[in-house]
Structure 1
Amino acid sequence: MNGPEIHLSVAPELHLFVAAERRGGRTALTTDGASTLGHVVESLGIPLTEAGRLLVDGREVPVSHIPAAGESVEVRAVQRPQQVPGAPLRFLLDVHLGTLARRLRLLGVDAAYFSEDIGDPALATHSAREQRVLLSRDRGLLRRRELWAGAYVYSDRPKEQLDDVLSRFAPALDPWTRCVACNGELKHTSKESVSGLLESGTERSYDAFAQCTTCSRVYWNGAHHSSLQTIVEDVMRTYGDVQTQRQAS
């Protein structure tokens, strides 16, 4: 038996998640009369992490709302920057986002990452245990109920992925303070204290060093520093003021 029919519209930013016939404006949708609006939204293919305000006949409702016949439902996208409960803001990235993880760490953002696939349940549990926002391009992973918070990464290009995360969450930026390999914190150190870890050419050519307090990896301004510096300068020029404004608000 058919249930109540509602009239649904989806924000353009969410069109990639829904079937083509749902992208042209308001469309009719038959529900079962018992499922919550959150379940209805997910059944369309939209992860709830990407759904912002849910409006029914112009008023905001929770995901637990049960749609009734004739209601006009509007699904909006999340606002930017997005407020996440709890502090500090920390991330967890799935196995496919290694480059994004390293770039976030380069900027001083706390970004946990597993280089091996530990499975969706373990990732979601880790997100909940450490209260980390899980970043993923896997819609199914973002639907797991044990997830603390999550966000879909829309692009497969690292630069666009970084822009997406920074504009959406506006995390605090503190470049050159995290290990890009393990996410540990860096501290300045003397050449003498790390000399046993350096090749002779590096020891002769450089004087300033930092070392990870977790994995002991040593850093210096080597051959790749200029390309990394370009990434940092571009980000700070674009997002440094936005992040400062958010902290002041």
Structure 2
Amino acid sequence: MNGPEIHIAFAPELGLFVPHARRGRATTVVTDGASTLGHVVESLGVPLTEVGALLVDGRTSPFSHVPAAGERVEVCPVERPQQVPGAPLRFLLDVHLGTLARRLRLLGVDAAYESTDIGDPALAARSAAEQRVMLSRDRGLLRRRELWAGAFVYSTRPDDQLRDVLARFAPALRPWTRCTACNGLLRDATKEGVADQLHHGTRRSYDVFACCRTCGRAYWKGAHHDQLEAIVERALTEFPSRA
């Protein structure tokens, strides 16, 4: 680029996306005189899904603004909790976030998940068609314009990923109401109704069951229930207003 010089400062929360030298202080950027401010910010490594506001010389500016020489730009993070307009809050997770998807479903959050790599165009198209917030650690995917909405998942640890999504979007929590396998809603079931899925020991030891309305999978308080209960209780303790 060979055009107007502008000065950009990124909020500390966006430090993950910019080289260390640019964190916390303004840096001079030479633009081409035609690209929008949104394009300039993305070219520096920050997905626009993570930008809450752009301040140009102290005034809020749209992503479509074409910067002029000497302007000072502040790139702010999204506000939390983030408001998602339009459809009921629903998520779509890419192939790398299976554990996070299952934990969101455990809490009753509508979380669709692609267990195979169907490619960025197909994921973006599904996000738009179903009006789902795309959750991903893939910055290229989050830059696709056809996305309905998106968010970068900052951590690689499932506990931190879950906490981050709950803090950022404040979804309503309705634990034990969704199938962790397919995202369908659960209903109460009788032992006889799910008998074909039970081993002899399970039939003898348990009497309370649920069944997925979509895939038919049976659920009961089995050997791993305490671990799942701990995840649920931790979420409800940290985010009591969500229940």
Fold conserved between structures, TM > 0.5: yes
Structure 1 residue 19 displacement after superposition? 2.0
Instruction: Tell me, yes or no, if the aligned pair for 2:54 and 2:61 is still in contact at 8 Å.
Output: yes
Please list the CA deviations of residues 93-135 of structure 1 after superposition, one character each: whole Å capped at 9, or x if unmatched. 0000000000000000000001111111100000000000000
Instruction: Tell me, yes or no, if the aligned pair for 1:173 and 1:240 is still in contact at 8 Å.
Output: no
**Could you tell me how far apart the structure 2 residues matched to 1:191 and 1:110 are?**
27
Structure 1 residue 85 displacement after superposition? 1.2
**Could you tell me how far apart the structure 2 residues matched to 1:156 and 1:133 are?**
19
Please list the CA deviations of residues 211-249 of structure 1 after superposition, one character each: whole Å capped at 9, or x if unmatched. 0001100000011001100110010011122x36xxxxx
Q: Which residue of 2 aligns with 1:10?
A: 10
Size of the aligned set, in residue pairs, is 243
Structure 1 residue 24 displacement after superposition? 4.0
Kindly provide the amino acid, as one letter, of the partner of residue 237 in structure 2.
Answer: R
**Could you tell me how far apart the structure 1 residues matched to 2:81 and 2:154 are?**
16
Kindly provide the amino acid, as one letter, of the partner of residue 182 in structure 1.
Answer: C
Instruction: Tell me, yes or no, if the aligned pair for 1:93 and 1:111 is still in contact at 8 Å.
Output: yes
Q: Which residue of 2 aligns with 1:247?
A: none
Instruction: Tell me, yes or no, if the aligned pair for 1:188 and 1:211 is still in contact at 8 Å.
Output: yes
Q: Which residue of 2 aligns with 1:184?
A: 184
TM-score (norm 2): 0.98
**Could you tell me how far apart the structure 1 residues matched to 2:24 and 2:164 are?**
25
**Aligned-residue CA RMSD in angstroms?**
1.0
Q: Which residue of 1 aligns with 2:114?
A: 114
**Could you tell me how far apart the structure 1 residues matched to 2:240 and 2:209 are?**
25
Structure 1 residue 30 displacement after superposition? 1.0
1:160 is the counterpart of 2:163: no
1:218 is the counterpart of 2:218: yes
Unpaired runs of 5+ in structure 2?
A: none
Instruction: Tell me, yes or no, if the aligned pair for 2:35 and 2:66 is still in contact at 8 Å.
Output: yes
Unpaired runs of 5+ in structure 1?
A: 245-249
Trace 1:94-173 onto structure 2 (pairs within 5 A).
94-173=94-173
Kindly provide the amino acid, as one letter, of the partner of residue 35 in structure 2.
Answer: S
Instruction: Tell me, yes or no, if the aligned pair for 1:179 and 1:186 is still in contact at 8 Å.
Output: yes
Q: Which residue of 2 aligns with 1:207?
A: 207
Give 3-state SS (helix, strand or coil) of 1:181's partner. coil
**Could you tell me how far apart the structure 1 residues matched to 2:70 and 2:101 are?**
45
Structure 1 residue 23 displacement after superposition? 1.3
Instruction: Tell me, yes or no, if the aligned pair for 1:47 and 1:139 is still in contact at 8 Å.
Output: yes
1:72 is the counterpart of 2:86: no
Structure 1 residue 20 displacement after superposition? 2.4
1:38 is the counterpart of 2:35: no
Q: Which residue of 2 aligns with 1:174?
A: 174
Q: Which residue of 2 aligns with 1:23?
A: 23
TM-score (norm 1): 0.95
